[in-house]
Chains A and B, each alone.
Chain A
Amino acid sequence: MSETPLIELRGIERHFGSVIALAGVTVSIMPGECHCLLGDNGAGKSTFIKTMSGVYKPTRGEIFVEGKPVLFESPREAMAYGIATVYQDLAMIPLMSVTRNFWMGREPKKRFGPFSFFDFEKADRVAMEAMRSMGIQLREPSQAVGTLSGGERQTVAISRAVHFGAKVLILDEPTSALGVRQTSQVLATIDRVRKSGVGVVFITHNVRHAMAVGDRFTVLNRGKTLGTAKRGEISTEELQDLMAGGADLAELEGSLGGTV
């Protein structure tokens, strides 16, 4: 590919004391792609995306944002580069309204003399629009997030990230706790986001969810990349086998081509 990746991580290692959580992982995210990160429990997926979003500093390895080398000191700094993460359980506060959640930390203000107030008129309007563009029809913006379904909550969180300028959107297992209908809602949201040019990193255990929206698939195993495959180069069964621990790795070498 000739385009510069939105973000590229090369040879990332991360050690926790004697535990080597990541042992040299290389992944790049292109604009408008959905990059699926697969792997068994403990493979290092969460550790990897936390490195990507500035929570952890890599023990070794380099990070490039749009071709330039960077070092994230904090999640805030990563966010300033347009790297946004949606955590499944920490995304939303159920007792607060959709508008309050959507704008949390970045509330729009309007001034009255020396005082500044939360501009609810603008906040409600923009939040409703953002939801609608993701295909969610809200009853009212003052509705508590707790009354939304799990899929709708994910969508609110995703549209919030996109609205605030995410270029790379990281989703850590957004579908793992959802039913069939809500999962398809989230997958549809991922598809919309991708089409707007955002690079999506989609972490999942579920190969079928990955196959439904993924453009490229990277499988992690025990802190290492087993390889990255493009859509169409690999079948669901092959991906499943890879995830199961790369037992049949030799058999798959061919289909993964030179990307290993």
Chain B
Amino acid sequence: MGDASPTPQPAQAGQAVARDERVKDISRLRKMMIRPELGAITGTILVFVYFFLVASDTGMFGPEGIMNWSTVSAQFMILAVGACLLMIAGEFDLSIGSMIGFSGIIIALLSVSMGWPVWAAIIAAFVLSLMIGAANGYLVIKTGLPSFIVTLASLYILRGLTIFISITTTRKTIIGGVKEAAAGDWLAPVFGGKILTGLFSWLADVGVIAKFTAGTRAGQPVIDGVPMLMVWAIGLVIFGHILLTRTQFGNWIFAAGGDAQAARYVGVPVARVKILMFVFTAFTATVFATCQVMEFGSAAADRGLLKEFEAIISVVIGGALLTGGYGSVIGAALGALIFGVVQQGLFFAGVESSLFRVFLGVILLLAVVLNTYIRRLITGER
């Protein structure tokens, strides 16, 4: 060996000391992983890319197609906002589907069968279902039972009562004629109306969107405005997101779901927060129901079936933890979007519709596994 062979340098001691021995900097990727919406954002991109590839020639991304899947997504979104905040607060509400049927029947019954003005019927439906929401919350808090069980009971009680009320008063489970009753009402258009109608007829005039060429609506644009359903969806998502991430109350929602006892110790009114979230969930269910009744012009006692699970699935796809204390309204809204786009997209693509359920189950499983993994990243538990 000659002198030329390099002598091994001693490790740079200074450098080694400067670094914290507990590896403290998290990689960029890991940090991004810790955002609750990440899975939903990725999922949304994948879903859109997929349908662009398989269904772009079917009209899915034409004006009518877009209106079709965004209406369905907006429906899911409205329910997902309520379910999301409630889940982050540590509770579930399985009765929102029944609440939809109930509110709808109340509106139709009061306005059509009993001749109330539609605005009064809508307000009455809201008051009743908010009270039911509060009762759900109160029962969960007072009994200390899991909300899963308490609201499962409400699911049956409310559905049964709805059918019972409908049958005993009108001998039917479907009550029509709401459109006629709502003509000229001031509150009905807030749920059943459309906005930007001027913009859309202008767009049709300049040829951006097509007009009907035949039938009773010949000459009118195929899309004549943005339905209030979507306005409610976007409004509720913005409201929920700001409430959760930017306010004191939002911090209390996280705290109530993260660890109710720890929250109580520092003076967070956990019971009030949870009950209010049950009330808010009931509110979103009634918004959904009212929009639907105004759109269809009728109410049916069996409306809203399985909606509670669809809302929960949207929320979980959106990155919320079933155990509470963690989640995102934006994520839940994207979850609802994925839900709507896939459901309608498979229809456009001509895929057997039963496969939608298969897809849903698989994506739910994936989302839960991903969320659990992210939870471990955050809390460091094994």
Question: Cβ of B379 and Cβ of A104 under 8 Å apart?
Answer: no
A92 at the binding interface (Cβ < 8 Å): yes
Question: Cβ of B254 and Cβ of A116 under 8 Å apart?
Answer: no
How far, in Å, is B89 (CB) from chain A's closest CB? Answer: 13
A87 at the binding interface (Cβ < 8 Å): yes
Stretch among A13-21, A94-102, A127-135, A203-211 lining the B interface:
A94-102
Residue of A with least CB distance to B250: A118
A113 at the binding interface (Cβ < 8 Å): no
How far, in Å, is A157 (CB) from chain B's closest CB? Answer: 10
Contact of B24 among A90, A96, A107, A139 (CB under 8 A): A139
Residues of A within 8 A of B254 (CB): 93, 95-96, 100
CA distance A116 to B265 in the complex (A): 24
22 residue pairs bridging A and B, Cβ less than 8 Å apart: A90-B261, A93-B254, A93-B258, A94-B258, A94-B379, A94-B380, A95-B254, A95-B378, A95-B379, A96-B258, A100-B255, A104-B251, A104-B266, A105-B252, A105-B255, A105-B263, A116-B248, A117-B246, A118-B247, A118-B250, A118-B251, A147-B378
How far, in Å, is A138 (CB) from chain B's closest CB? Answer: 10
Pair count A-B, CB < 8 A: 79
A195 at the binding interface (Cβ < 8 Å): no
B57 at the binding interface (Cβ < 8 Å): no
A122 at the binding interface (Cβ < 8 Å): no
CA distance A39 to B375 in the complex (A): 38
Residues of B bordering A, CB below 8 Å: 22, 24-26, 34, 246-248, 250-252, 254-255, 258-259, 261-263, 265-268, 321, 325-326, 375, 378-381
Beyond A116-B247, A117-B246, whether A75 also contacts B379 by CB under 8 A is no
Residues of B within 8 A of A100 (CB): 251, 254-255
| Chain A 74-109 interface mask (CB, 8 Å, partner B; 1/0) | 011001000000010011111110001001111101
Residue of A with least CB distance to B248: A107
Interface residues on A, range: 20 to 34
CA distance A178 to B379 in the complex (A): 17
Contact of A147 among B246, B251, B263, B380 (CB under 8 A): B380
Question: Cβ of B261 and Cβ of A104 under 8 Å apart?
Answer: no
Residue of B with least CB distance to A160: B266
Question: Cβ of A95 and Cβ of B326 under 8 Å apart?
Answer: yes
Residue of A with least CB distance to B88: A95
Residues of A within 8 A of B261 (CB): 90
Question: Cβ of A90 and Cβ of B262 under 8 Å apart?
Answer: yes
A146 at the binding interface (Cβ < 8 Å): yes
Residue of A with least CB distance to B324: A95
The residue in B250, B251, B321 that gathers the most chain A C-beta atoms within 10 A of its C-beta is B251
Residues of B within 8 A of A49 (CB): none
CA distance A92 to B26 in the complex (A): 22
Contact of A118 among B22, B246, B321, B325 (CB under 8 A): B246
Beyond A76-B267, A147-B380, whether A93 also contacts B262 by CB under 8 A is yes
CA distance A60 to B127 in the complex (A): 50
Question: Cβ of A144 and Cβ of B265 under 8 Å apart?
Answer: no
CA distance A95 to B25 in the complex (A): 18
Beyond A90-B259, A144-B379, A146-B379, whether A96 also contacts B325 by CB under 8 A is yes
Beyond A94-B378, A146-B380, whether A107 also contacts B251 by CB under 8 A is yes
Residues of A within 8 A of B375 (CB): 95
Residues of B within 8 A of A95 (CB): 254, 258, 321, 325-326, 375, 378-379
Beyond A93-B254, A95-B375, A96-B254, whether A105 also contacts B267 by CB under 8 A is yes
Q: Which of A42-58 contact B (CB under 8 A)?
A: none
Residue of B with least CB distance to A107: B248
Question: Cβ of A144 and Cβ of B25 under 8 Å apart?
Answer: no
Residues of A within 8 A of B378 (CB): 94-95, 144, 146-147
CA distance A108 to B283 in the complex (A): 29
How far, in Å, is A194 (CB) from chain B's closest CB? Answer: 23
With A91-B262, A95-B379, A117-B247 given, can you name 16 additional A-B contacts, CB distance below 8 Å?
A79-B267, A90-B262, A93-B254, A93-B258, A95-B375, A96-B254, A104-B262, A104-B266, A105-B263, A118-B248, A120-B246, A146-B378, A146-B379, A146-B380, A147-B378, A147-B380
